[in-house]
């Protein structure tokens, strides 16, 4: 039984380690690998394609658009169907005005680097966040929902899903820490029980 408890402990550590590792900082104070999500169901885009040209256009114009916006966030479209891209950028209210554009530009670079050739990406640097997706493919993407009524297939937009995941990230981290604490508690209980057994066997 102790081996099973150790395996559970190692599994819990493996689940907790990835989110905690994103807190490492580089010389500029940014996380080395920011929180990001890459879309896989919509398929990749081809190098030097119209879609990539639209992404380059967004990378060049999105920082200026968010700086000139009346609020700290902006939603834009680039290109035409079937290569239409919807993008969003936002900065925290605590961010300085001149830092917002540079943060968005950096987040977009991270999105292109961490999600190469992906038609859907979300990057959150803390001070700002950027996301983009292929409008046409996301409209027809199928998502499987599991509920008490059974398994339901329905169509939805990955744009909506991405913001649920970004907003729920602290809750997911909290649940992982709670799971780790439960596994650690079970491991300690098993260890204490295994130490008591030899004492009970003494004459």
List Cβ neighbours of 72 (8 Å cut-off, separation of 6 or more): 66, 90, 91, 92, 93, 95, 100
The pTM of this model reads 0.52
Structural domain boundaries in the chain: 2-196
Task: Write down the pLDDT at residue 7.
Answer: 44
Task: Write down the pLDDT at residue 44.
Answer: 77
Write the class of the CATH domain 2-196: alpha beta
**203: pLDDT strictly greater than 60:** no
pLDDT digits (tens, 9 = 90+) for 154-189: 444 444 444 444 445 667 777 788 888 888 888 888
pLDDT digits (tens, 9 = 90+) for 118-134: 888 888 888 888 888 88
Instruction: List beta partners, residue 25.
Output: 31
Residue with tokens 């530009």: 105
Tell me which residue of 88, 87, 74, 166 sits closest to 134, measured CA to CA: 87
């Amino acid at each position: 039984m102790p081996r099973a408890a150790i395996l559970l402990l190692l599994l819990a550590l493996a689940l907790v380690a990835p989110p905690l590792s994103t807190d490492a900082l580089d010389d500029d104070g940014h996380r080395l690998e920011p929180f990001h999500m890459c879309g896989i169901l919509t398929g990749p885009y081809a190098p030097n394609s119209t879609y990539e040209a639209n992404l380059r256009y967004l990378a060049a114009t999105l920082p200026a658009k968010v700086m000139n916006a009346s609020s700290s966030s902006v939603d834009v479209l680039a290109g035409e169907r079937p290569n239409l891209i919807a993008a969003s950028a936002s900065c925290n209210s605590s961010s300085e005005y001149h830092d917002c554009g540079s943060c968005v530009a950096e987040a977009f670079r991270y999105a292109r680097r961490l999600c190469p050739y992906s038609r859907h990406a979300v990057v959150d640097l803390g001070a700002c966040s950027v996301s983009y997706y292929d409008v046409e493919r996301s409209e027809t993407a199928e998502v499987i929902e599991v509920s008490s009524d059974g398994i339901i297939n329905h169509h939805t937009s990955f744009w909506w899903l991405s913001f649920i995941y970004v907003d729920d990230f602290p809750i997911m981290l909290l649940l992982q820490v709670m799971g780790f604490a439960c596994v650690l508690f079970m491991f300690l209980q098993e260890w204490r029980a295994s130490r008591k057994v030899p004492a009970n066997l003494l004459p």
